[in-house]
Amino acid sequence: KAGVTQTPRYLIKTRGQQVTLSCSPISGHRSVSWYQQTPGQGLQFLFEYFSETQRNKGNFPGRFSGRQFSNSRSEMNVSTLELGDSALYLCASSLDGTPHNEQFFGPGTRLTVL
Amino acid sequence: GENVEQHPSTLSVQEGDSAVIKCTYSDSASNYFPWYKQELGKRPQLIIDIRSNVGEKKDQRIAVTLNKTAKHFSLHITETQPEDSAVYFCAASNQAGTALIFGKGTTLSVSS
């Protein structure tokens, strides 16, 4: 099976712009989680989607949003970008998001905000 | 909210030594505790996990222990090798069991 893929891999934006990142899960996986990774802060949970429904949300401002499509592909959007949004954004997929099933990570999208 | 503390943030050992990384979690409802390894420039990969009904689990040179009463769990790597050098993340499931809360990571350096 193909692994989790994310597009684009690299992105440069300026403050105030918005950005959309995409994640394609492993075939058959219905849960997609998003994380923000920054040096010293580890992996911070953004949100999790299952069958097109957001089930969990982390402590991020409303500028961060996401959605999931019927084919389980997911997108996250960040509006009104700030310098502090520069980070590696990782998505992970699993069969159903429960602890019974492993989460597999994608390669990430490196976002730089200037 | 749920929180996972991880220590130390950096760890340097000599090849062949053991390495121990410790994590504590806040949500007593957490029942799944995975450990991920992230090599430089690569994605995190699961190396071992433990569920709340088990106190210890071992896979070759890697072992994880869990103390639910104290709400802490640890990763033990024996006979370390240079290829063990990476960032290690612990995580705990949230109350609903549908999200993972990660620690901030430990950078392990193994020198030969």
SS3 A112: strand
Which tens digit of pLDDT belongs to each residue from B82-111? Answer: 999 999 999 999 877 778 999 999 999 999
Give A-chain residues touching B53 at CB under 8 angstroms.
none
Cis, bond preceding A25 (omega within 30 deg of 0): no
Q: CA B30 to CA B24: how far, in whole Å?
A: 11
Residue in chain B lying closest to A50 (CA): B98
Which tens digit of pLDDT belongs to each residue from A12-32? Answer: 999 999 999 999 999 999 999
B55 touches A: beta carbon within 8 Å: no
As a whole-number percent, the residues of chain A with pLDDT over 90 amount to 88
Give B-chain residues touching A35 at CB under 8 angstroms.
102
Contact between A56 and B105 using a beta-carbon 8 Å cutoff: no
**Residue A57, burial from CB neighbour count under 10 angstroms (0-12, 13-18, 19+):** middle
A109 touches B: beta carbon within 8 Å: no
Q: Which two tokens stand for residue A85?
A: 């949004």
Of the partner residues B93, B94, B104, the one whose CB lies closest to the CB of residue A41: B104
Q: CA A60 to CA A62: how far, in whole Å?
A: 7
Q: How far is B63 from chain A (nearest CA, A)?
A: 18
Give B-chain residues touching A105 at CB under 8 angstroms.
36, 43-45
B106 touches A: beta carbon within 8 Å: no
Confidence at B59, pLDDT banded by 50, 70, 90? very high
Per-residue pLDDT at B16 exceeds 90: yes
